[in-house]
Structure 1
Amino acid sequence: MAEVSAEARIEAPAGKVWACLTDFPSYGEWNATHTSFPSGGPESLETGATFTENMKLMGFPAEVLWTVEELETDRALAIRGKGPMGVTVATRYSLAADGDATTVRIDGEFTGAAVSLMAGKLKDSATAALTESLRKLAGLVA
């Protein structure tokens, strides 16, 4: 298993950050691993909703079938997906209001036999992607 996380303080209220975070048509503007939604984002954002995302990590393209596991408007979004080679991916976005700003944390987890072969490189690449994603998200909402 490989676990990664990144956190940033974004100078915008949680509602504004949440709106950008859950605006799937603009996902590619801030999410560093996202390449496309072949069928669009989830039709409605609710627990149990599914959607497919094409992404790229460590230079490798992957298609992930995501399921929304947790949803708390303006506070948390957790998704878990099945990727290629039996890899399971989990991502959790947490938002905490901090005055007129918001602390945003992204936690990710990769599990599966293929992960153990490249866990170190995967952690480095995924952490860099999360950090870049938060930087871009801050730029969009600030």
Structure 2
Amino acid sequence: MTTIRLERRIAAAPAAVYDLVTRPARWHEWHPSSIRADAQAMESLAAGARFEEDIRSSGFTRHLRWTVREAEPPQRWCAEAVMDDGSTVHLRYELMADGDGTRFVRTLDYRLALPLLRWLNDVLMWRRVRRESNRALDNLVARFP
């Protein structure tokens, strides 16, 4: 299992940030790895909602089938995904009021099922995924000037 936990301060109220980040069909607007998500994921998704997403990360294009596991506006949102090869992703957003803004914590846990991908991840891919994740959060911060 690989874990990437990143934190940023965003100059917007937690409710505004939550409303954007829990709409997976809009992830491509700020996350460089997200290609597209199902149109019904344009709404802020509640626990139990399902959607699919295509991503391109570390040079690989993947299809993810997501289930939202937890939705507590505007504090927390968690979802899990499975890929065709059995690889899994767990994504958690935590939002806390911070003065007139939000402290946003994004935790990405993933486990690659194929031995070759696990080896590539250990050697190289996790660094690229971390860079992509950092760029995503920088883009998110820029959306709330």
Q: TM-score, normalised by structure 2?
A: 0.88
Q: Deviations over 1:93-113 (max 9, x none)?
A: 111110101111111111143
Structure 1 residue 43 displacement after superposition: 6.4
> Aligned partners of 1:133 and 1:71: how far apart in 2?
21
User: Who is 2:82 aligned against?
Assistant: 82
Q: In angstroms, what is the RMSD of aligned CA positions?
A: 1.8
Instruction: Select between 21-30 and 58-67 the one with higher mean Cα deviation.
Output: 21-30
Matched-pair contact (CA < 8 Å) for 2:94–2:105: yes
Matched-pair contact (CA < 8 Å) for 2:54–2:62: yes
Percent same amino acid among aligned pairs?
26
Matched-pair contact (CA < 8 Å) for 1:50–1:67: yes
Instruction: Select between 111-120 and 83-92 the one with higher mean Cα deviation.
Output: 111-120
> Aligned partners of 1:38 and 1:69: how far apart in 2?
17
Q: Deviations over 1:80-125 (max 9, x none)?
A: 0001321011111111110101111111111143252223323212
Indicate which of 115, 118, 121 corresponds to 1:116.
118
Higher relative CO (Cα under 8 Å, sequence separation at least 6) belongs to: 1
Matched-pair contact (CA < 8 Å) for 2:10–2:103: yes
User: Who is 1:68 aligned against?
Assistant: 68
Q: Deviations over 1:64-84 (max 9, x none)?
A: 000001111011111100013
User: Who is 2:136 aligned against?
Assistant: 133
Q: TM-score, normalised by structure 1?
A: 0.90
Q: How do 1:22-101 residues align onto structure 2 when only pairs under 5 Å count?
A: 22-41=22-41, 45-101=45-101
Instruction: Select between 38-47 and 103-112 the one with higher mean Cα deviation.
Output: 38-47
Secondary structure of the 1:113 match is: coil
Matched-pair contact (CA < 8 Å) for 1:47–1:68: yes
Matched-pair contact (CA < 8 Å) for 1:76–1:93: yes
Give the unaligned 5+ runs of structure 1.
none
Give the unaligned 5+ runs of structure 2.
none
How many positions carry a matched residue from both structures? 142
